[in-house]
Amino acid sequence: MAGQGRFGRTAGRRRGAALVLTALVLAGSLLTGGCADGPRRDTTAQEVQRTLDARAAAVLRHDEAGYLAALDPSARQLAAVGRAEFANLAEVPLGSWEYRVTHARSSGGRATADAELRYRLDGYDTSPVTAERRLELAERDGRWYITADRPGHGGGQQLWQQGDVEVVRGTRSLVLGVGQPSARLEQMAAEADRAVPAVSAAWAGAWAGRVVVMVPASLEAMGRLLGAPAAEYRGIAAVTTGRAGPPGKGDGPLPADRVTVNPEAYGLLGDLGRRVVLTHETAHVATRAHTSASTPLWLSEGFADWAAYRGTGGDLRQAAPELRRAVLGGDVPAALPTDADFRFGGDARVLGRAYEGGRLACELIADRWGEDRLRAFYRAVGASEARDGAVESALDEVLGTSPERFTADWREYMGERLG
């Protein structure tokens, strides 16, 4: 299988703190000098918000003219791009679409604004996806018009910016594709439909029970969607994006998840590989609310792999080739994988051993303590207030063991299963 059998992981959840949804700048909060009788209010943020509100309303009522009316009339190339993007959205089942201006500044009839595009897919998202946007605007006749619309810092393109979006609805899934044969998208929807109940059986906890899959035209297009160099995902068949965090923390409902497929690596997989890929990624969606900064990657990726292989009857020695090679060579890892071992774009053998080691750790817990304890352990680690001590406390409270004893048991278990 492509990428030494590595199928993907949650993307971006280590990139920083949770998104901060800042309210509109209130009237009077941005002050400028100039008036003899007192400071003059800067209402740029409110005026830009009105422009974006009108644009959002046009999207929801399928009004192309209204959508384009937000653009600078002199920006003909931008209008052509906007017209194409609007057409590409035609089949996407939008339940909501809104912008929230988080910061704006103006000078001499020009302005820049940071905004959040928040959209929800009808019937699939219980909360919106949030995308950071950086806008440039010009003022004409007392109204602000968009002259440029780009991803915010560290952000990526949206799928409809890459071409006409084809939509395939499964029983438990929604697949959005660009530049892909319809038959391939239908196959992915069927595979995602099978992944959802498999994950529900493995997780045995409440979750939405639906998954949204995005399929760009190429590896390069995947990189643009994720706002990262495509080379980081070469050999990685899919990733899941979304913000992690346990319930009751943060600033509101967690944004919706997206599974993004690398069509090049995914296309090289056989039936079992494709099944494992989408089940692994769907497991990330199901466990999102109980995955936090306290959760090490060996646990989140190991659990997703455990859930993906659970019930397949596959030979572990074939599914863990890198770790088996190390065990047979007398090079049994001395410690559980670190987060750094899961780095994309690094040594493929290190990455392979990391995924396989995490899976073996979760299989050890399921075999020795039972699947219910594995789930309880996962939740306990994710609920911890801090990374330091999270695993140690859960090992003690849920499994009645220590880090040293668990590591020794894990090393022995590898020898038994892979020798």
What is the mean pLDDT of the segment spanning 289-309?
A: 96
pLDDT in the model for residue 29:
35
pLDDT category of residue 253 using cuts at 50, 70 and 90: low
pLDDT category of residue 12 using cuts at 50, 70 and 90: very low
Q: Which runs of E-coded beta strand occur in 108-194?
A: 110-121, 129-140, 143-151, 166-169, 173-177
What is the DSSP annotation of 36-80? Answer: TTSPEE--HHHHHHHHHHHHHHHHHTT-HHHHHTTB-TT-HHHHH
Quote the CA–CA distance of 127 and 124 in Å, as a whole number.
9
pLDDT in the model for residue 419:
80
Quote the CA–CA distance of 228 and 20 in Å, as a whole number.
21
Q: Please, which residues bridge with residue 150 across strands?
A: 134
What is the mean pLDDT of the segment spanning 399-417?
A: 96
pLDDT in the model for residue 345:
74
What is the mean pLDDT of the segment spanning 26-40?
A: 38
Neighbour tally for 186: CB within 10 Å: 15
Q: 1-10+156-288: which CATH topology?
A: Zincin-like (3.30.2010)
pLDDT in the model for residue 252:
52
Over its C-alpha atoms, the chain yields an Rg (Å, rounded) of 24
Span 194-245, pLDDT tens digits: 999 999 999 999 999 999 999 999 999 999 999 999 999 998 999 998 766 5
385 pLDDT higher than 80: yes
What is the mean pLDDT of the segment spanning 277-288?
A: 97
CATH among 3.90.1150.10, 3.40.190.10, 3.30.200.20, 3.10.450.50 for 43-155: 3.10.450.50
Span 41-95, pLDDT tens digits: 679 999 999 999 999 999 999 999 999 999 999 999 999 999 999 999 999 999 9
Quote the CA–CA distance of 5 and 236 in Å, as a whole number.
9
pLDDT in the model for residue 2:
38
Residue 399 backbone zone (phi > 0: left; psi -120 to 50: alpha; other: beta): alpha
Per-domain residue ranges of the chain = 1-10+156-288, 43-155, 292-419
Q: Find where tokens 């997703």 sit.
A: 304
Q: Contact at 8 Å (CB) between 308 and 286?
A: no
What is the mean pLDDT of the segment spanning 266-288?
A: 96
What is the mean pLDDT of the segment spanning 378-400?
A: 97
Helix (H, G, I), strand (E, B) or coil at 252: coil
337 pLDDT higher than 80: yes
27 pLDDT higher than 50: no
pLDDT in the model for residue 243:
64
Helix (H, G, I), strand (E, B) or coil at 184: helix
pLDDT in the model for residue 244:
62
Specify the amino acid at residue 73. P
User: What average pLDDT is seen over the chain?
Assistant: 88
Specify the amino acid at residue 109. G
Q: What is the pTM of this model?
A: 0.86
pLDDT in the model for residue 316:
82
21 pLDDT higher than 50: no
Q: Contact at 8 Å (CB) between 225 and 187?
A: no
Q: Contact at 8 Å (CB) between 387 and 294?
A: yes
20 pLDDT higher than 80: no
Q: Find where tokens 């509101």 sit.
A: 252
Q: Which two tokens stand for residue 273?
A: 């590989």
